[in-house]
Structures are given as structure tokens and as C-alpha cells.
Amino acid sequence: MSVLIRGGRIVTAADDYVADVFVEDERIALIGESLDIQADKVIDAAGKYVLPGCIDPHTHLDMPFGGTVTIDDVESGQTAAAFGGTTCHVDFVIQGKGQTFAQALDDWRAKAAGKQVIDMGYHMAVTDLADGGTLEELATLPDQGVTSYKLFMAYKGALMVDDETLYRTMEVAATTGALVMVHAENGDVIDVLVKEALAAGHTEPLYHALTRPPEAEGEATNRAIQLAHLAGAPLYVVHVSCKESVEPIAAAREKGWDVWGETCTQYFFTSLDDIAKPDFEGAKYVFSPPVRDKSNWDVLWNAVRTDTLSAISTDHCAFLFDGQKTLGKDDFSKIPNGGPGLENRLQMIHEFGVRAGRISLNRMVELLATSPAKLFGLYPRKGTIAIGSDADIVVFDPGKQVTISAKAQHSKVDYNLFEGTTVTGSPDVVLLRGHVLVENDELVASPGIGQYVARARFGQELKPARTAVA
């Protein structure tokens, strides 16, 4: 099937111009002015932006966590992503205690089978090197396109690893060409603070934030940076929420160290005021790192504008308010940690980043598509509009007004962190490898169309390919 996208404003991380895009055999075949060519489908993009499909490098679909399982499975989560203009994401495989990495990968592949609406890759979250996965097995993962290792420095007694596991994994990454990712919060200290808060009778959601102070994030970020430098491994700090964590990343990058960081949409818009809401409403804002003081919003906008932080993800980890968050009604430490966001990242960053004059349109594309593609071994097959790249394209209408609401969303979750926010600018048509996924506010394609993408090693390019590796 061929598609001609006529007269749109093509915006990449570097360019901004009006042209036609011709798509054939799932890839971008031609870009030019007033192309004289026949196509099976023509999309009039006059007055609209033609953007590369966004890439979300941080999601948790169908993941057991906090005594329950995230509410969005691969089908509902990826459907929400498609409506939001995201055409590829990298999800976290979590190694269960005692599991080999192969077993963990098999589990995650089984959850995705037949359900994929967009393309996806996997990171491997290492939780146990003592009994199950070995360093030797870890070293083989990049051969299967799993080219990033994630370590949790928090969630004591669950996903948290000690510094030995962290450092040994970094040593493996230094030799295999994998990128190390860290959830940087000091889990031991948080555990003490949580116990002290509960002993003092503090059970409400606000104490989730008060027991995870910015210093705990700053300390862990700095520790991970120093250890990664020692091991010679590249490092990516996920979900940076505050100045205390931005500063060590900025310092490392100024020294030319191989350190990158992301923040997530929610950290620009949520604060301690939200988690302090009465009647357990604050539980909707229980995620980690927690909401912070509002003074951090400007710190984060500045960091993404200046490339101290290089990507904006969603950390979509959705739990129902009614039935899942309520597990912690009487004890904030039992509220499953995580929030939704997969559907609204592009709308929110366009509205409050680009339209508000905080970042340029090119920078938005870089933060949501091109940088994640480059950092996670997907570029130039994905993350840009170029001849030969996968035809993952968002025709974005900069004049379309949408009021964000849980009622209208495609995720299964029963709330939205940005409820009631009106944005001007939203995806109109979304294509995955030239197949129309979303048009006229309908999902047009069927689950099964998405593919697994074997990612290139850190720093290497992923060449455009006709057939994806299954």
C-alpha cells in the first residue's frame, strides 16, 4: 500500500519545511515539493504538521507491581499511545526473583503476542544476579536487540538492587554496548523514613512524597553517575523530578561524561498540592520519584531546553483509582506507585512547551522522538522523517482543540492526571510503517500490526529494514 501525504509542514529535530511525503512498502520513499505520483491513499496535510511518530522510552504495560498488575495491557496501552501520536515504545521486562533473563523475556513476549498496535522494544530490568540471571546471560541480551539494562536503586524488598549488582551490571554494559538505566532514589533511606512516618501515625498519600525527599534522588543520581563513570558504561537516569538530580547530571555532562537523563510529562504539571488533596484523591499522584515543590517545574523546562535532560517519557504505569490505588487507603506505603500519561504527552508538551514559548517545535520533536530513537538504538529507522525511515508519521493539527478527560481516553485507567486541561493541537492521522492507525478519532488498524524491534547497541544506528525481527 502506498500513501501520499500532501502539503504538510514537515518538522524534524533539525528541519521545518513544506513538502509532500510518499510512502511505499512501509517506508518513506520520497520527499519533495508537489510530487507527481499516484498513491493508494492521499492525506491532505495542508496547514498541519507532519511529525515523526513519537517514541516513549519508558512504559510499564501489564506489569505486576505493588501487589497488583498495571491496568493497561499491551493492547490498551498501545492503543492509548497511538491516539497520542506515539508509534513506538520501549517497555520494561522485569526479571522475577530467581528467573533467568530468557524466562523474563519470554513472559513479556507472551503478554504482547497478537496484541500489538504499535512497534515496541524491551529494556531488561535486572533484579537478581544471585539466583537466576547471570552476568554471562546478561551479556547475551544485546544480540537479541535488548540493548539497555535497568536497575532500581529504590523499592527496597521488591525491585531494588544493591551497589554490587548495580556496578557489576555496569561492567557488563561497558563491554556489551548496552545503555544502563537507573531509577535513582536511595531506597535504604526511604525505607527508614517510611517506617518512621508510619510509626508516627501518618498514613495519608502526602507522606509518600514526604518520605522520598529530593536529597534521596540527588544522592542516588550522583552515586549512579560516579559508578557508571568508574565502570566505563553509558548511563541514562530515568524520570528525573527535581533540581537535586538535574544538577549532578548537568555537572557530568559538562565534563563530557556519557550521562543522559529524561524527565516525564507529569513532573512539569503536578506538585505537592496534588498529593495533599483530601479524601484520598492524592493517591492518584502517588508515583516515584514523587511530585515535588513547584519550583522544580522551571528547573525541568530549563533542563529540557538546554539538553541537560534529553528526553521526555511518560513512565506510564497506570493503576485504577478505584480498586488498585485504594489498596493503600489506610497506609500510603501500600498505594501502588505509578501514574498514567501515554496518551497525552505530545498534546501537553506541545501546549505548554511549544505554544507557551518554552521550547521550539524542533526541540519538541527531538525530545519526544529523535533523542529517544538515538539513545535507544532505533535511529534512523525511527525518530525522524527521512527517505528510507519507517513511515511512522503523525499528521498533527495545530488548531485542533481538545479537552483532556478520563472519559474520552483510550487507556483503561479511571482518571487522568491532566483532567480538564484544554489544549490546542492534537494528532489527526497517525501512521505506523505506512499503515493508518488512527484517523477521524477512530482506531483503524487491528491489534497485531505492531512489531517487536530489535534495537541496535548504544551509539550504533539501526538500519531501515523491510522485515522486523520477531
Contacted by 378, from Zn ion, ligand URP, none: CB < 5 to 8 Å by type: none
| Closest CB to ligand URP among residues 263, 288 | 288
CB-nearer residue toward Zn ion: 44 or 188: 188
Tell which one of 263, 271, 288, 451 touches ligand URP (CB under 6 A): 288
Site track 327-366 with ligand URP (rule: CB under 6 A), x = hit: ----------xx----------------------------
Using the rule CB under 6 A, is 414 a contact of ligand URP? Answer: no
Nearest to 95 by CA among 55, 63, 73: 63
**Contact (Cβ atoms closer than 8 angstroms) between residue 241 and residue 275:** no
Whichever of 207 and 379 has its CB closer to ligand URP, that residue is 207
Among 49, 101, 236, 287, binds ligand URP (CB under 6 A): 287
Grid coordinates given for 302: 530549563
Instruction: Return phi, psi of residue 447, to 5°.
Output: -55, 145
> Which residue stretches of 206-242 are H helix?
206-210, 214-231
User: Residue 261, interface with ligand URP (CB under 6 A)?
Assistant: no
Q: Which residue is nearest to Zn ion (CB)?
A: 183
Between the two ends of the chain, the Cα-to-Cα distance in Å is 22
Kind plus residue range of the DSSP H or E element containing 166: helix 163-176
Contact 234, 180 (CB under 8 A): yes
Beta strand extents in 64-185 (DSSP E only) = 64-65, 68-69, 86-94, 119-125, 148-152, 179-183
Does 282 bind ligand URP (CB under 6 A)? Our answer is no
Question: Which candidate, 442, 370, 318, places its Cα nearest to that of 88?
Answer: 370
Cα 466 to Cα 24, 122, 251, 265, 433: the distances in Å are 11, 20, 41, 33, 10
Is residue 317 at the binding interface for ligand URP, with CB under 6 A as the rule? yes
Nearest approach, Cβ of residue 378 and Zn ion (Å): 19
Binding site for Zn ion (CB under 5 A): 183, 315
Check residue 91 for interaction with ligand URP (CB under 6 A): no
3-state helix, strand, coil in the chain (%, to 5): 30, 25, 45
Of 56, 258, 315, 343, the one binding ligand URP (CB under 6 A) is: 315
Distance CA 470, CA 144 (A): 10
Q: How far is the CB of 123 from ligand URP (least distance, A)?
A: 11
Q: According to the binding rule CB under 6 A, does residue 275 interact with ligand URP? A: no
Q: Least separation, in Å, of the C-beta of 81 and Zn ion?
A: 15
Nearest distance from C-beta of residue 120 to ligand URP, angstroms: 17
Site for ligand URP in 140-179 (CB under 6 A): none
Considering only residues 40 to 79 of the shown chain, the ones binding ligand URP according to CB under 6 A are: 60
To ligand URP, the closest distance from the beta carbon of 318 in angstroms equals 10
Q: Which does 337 bind (CB under 5 to 8 A by kind): ligand URP, Zn ion, none?
A: ligand URP
Task: Examine residue 123 and tell whether it contacts ligand URP (CB under 6 A).
Answer: no
CB-count burial class (<10 Å; 0-12, 13-18, 19+) for 43: buried
With CB under 6 A as the contact rule, the residue among 27, 115, 183, 243 that binds ligand URP is 183
Taking every pair of C-alpha atoms in the chain, what is the biggest distance, in angstroms?
A: 73
> In a 3-state reduction of DSSP, which class is residue 357?
coil
CB of 70 to Zn ion, least distance (A): 10
Contact positions toward ligand URP, by CB under 6 A?
Answer: 60, 183, 239, 287-288, 315, 317, 337-338
